[in-house]
């Protein structure tokens, strides 16, 4: 995915700007920065949910705005904040929504199998039949992951993208780690590239390959963890004074 001269403003206020970036396939790219820095807005642009920007994003060699929504839905899934709070829906029905881009009226046997596998991947079988709204925050988050995974499942050989806005919200430590490890495994299995917004800097350092640091609407740094998530940048952009602990050649922070 190539990003060239992207600029998104609302009423003359700059919301998200990236001059030039290349998000290499098969990697985990994390967007980091303080609250209000423009991370979610950038994710919306990159995932095709926000088309009103200047510049160009190209996705699999074609301008993102040239993709039809239905085509895009077969190639990328988006985990957004605060979805599906408005109406009752059964867990398995919600996960099946991930398959909507792939069938016309009725789910095929293959769609049903994929939903069952996605539910199993997140240990959700015991919630089949339950109303999504009756689940805890962490359980809901796992159902939303399962929906995204069901969406990018299959079509072997086709490159897919997963966009994750604060995926670790509501998850306990065990599920946070399990989820991040699962992402690593899925990259190869589904020919994936992952772009996520994450607030936990240490988990980001541990699991990310490439980072975009947003500050006041601008991408001010990009590259690997040692460059972007340096002690200096913690001080300059996050306004914290962390202690640094080195582990396996990488710096982690104690705040």
**Which residues of the chain form contacts with ligand ATP (CB under 6 A)?**
10, 15, 33, 35-41
As measured in angstroms, the least distance from the Cβ of 170 to ligand ATP is 15
Do 216 and 35 form a contact (C-beta atoms < 8 A)?
A: no
Q: Which residue has the tokens 């602990």?
A: 245
Q: Of 33 and 48, which CB lies nearer to ligand ATP in the complex structure?
A: 33
Q: Of 15 and 23, which CB lies nearer to ligand ATP in the complex structure?
A: 15
Question: Could you count the other beta carbons within 10 Å of the beta carbon of residue 80?
Answer: 17
As measured in angstroms, the least distance from the Cβ of 33 to ligand ATP is 6
Do 200 and 13 form a contact (C-beta atoms < 8 A)?
A: no
Alpha carbon distance 57, 62 (integer Å): 8
Q: Of 23 and 212, which CB lies nearer to ligand ATP in the complex structure?
A: 212
As measured in angstroms, the least distance from the Cβ of 115 to ligand ATP is 30
As measured in angstroms, the least distance from the Cβ of 15 to ligand ATP is 4
Q: Of 37 and 187, which CB lies nearer to ligand ATP in the complex structure?
A: 37
Q: Of 149 and 194, which CB lies nearer to ligand ATP in the complex structure?
A: 194
Q: Of 39 and 76, which CB lies nearer to ligand ATP in the complex structure?
A: 39
As measured in angstroms, the least distance from the Cβ of 223 to ligand ATP is 19
As measured in angstroms, the least distance from the Cβ of 38 to ligand ATP is 4
């Amino acid at each position: 995915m190539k990003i060239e001269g992207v600029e998104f403003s609302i009423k003359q206020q700059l919301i998200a700007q990236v001059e030039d970036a290349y998000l290499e396939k098969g990697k985990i790219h994390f967007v980091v920065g303080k609250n209000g820095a423009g991370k979610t807005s950038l994710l919306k642009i990159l995932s095709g949910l926000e088309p009103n920007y200047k510049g160009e994003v190209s996705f699999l060699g074609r301008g993102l705005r040239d993709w039809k929504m239905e085509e895009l839905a077969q190639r990328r899934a988006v985990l957004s904040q605060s979805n599906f709070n408005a109406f009752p829906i059964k867990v398995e029905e919600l996960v099946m929504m991930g398959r909507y881009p792939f069938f016309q009226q009725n789910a095929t046997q293959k769609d049903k199998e994929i939903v069952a596998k996605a539910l199993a991947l997140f240990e959700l079988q015991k919630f089949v039949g339950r109303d999504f709204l009756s689940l805890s925050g962490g359980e809901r988050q796992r159902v939303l992951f399962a929906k995204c995974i069901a969406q990018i499942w299959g079509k072997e050989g086709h490159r897919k993208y997963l966009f994750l806005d604060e995926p670790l919200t509501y998850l306990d430590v065990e599920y946070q780690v399990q989820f991040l490890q699962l992402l690593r495994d899925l990259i190869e299995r589904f020919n994936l590239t992952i772009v996520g917004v994450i607030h936990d800097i240490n988990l980001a350092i541990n699991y990310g390959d490439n980072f975009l640091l947003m500050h006041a609407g601008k991408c001010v740094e990009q590259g690997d963890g040692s460059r972007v998530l340096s002690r200096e940048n913690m001080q300059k952009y996050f306004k914290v004074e962390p202690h640094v602990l080195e582990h396996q050649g990488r710096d982690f922070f104690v705040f």
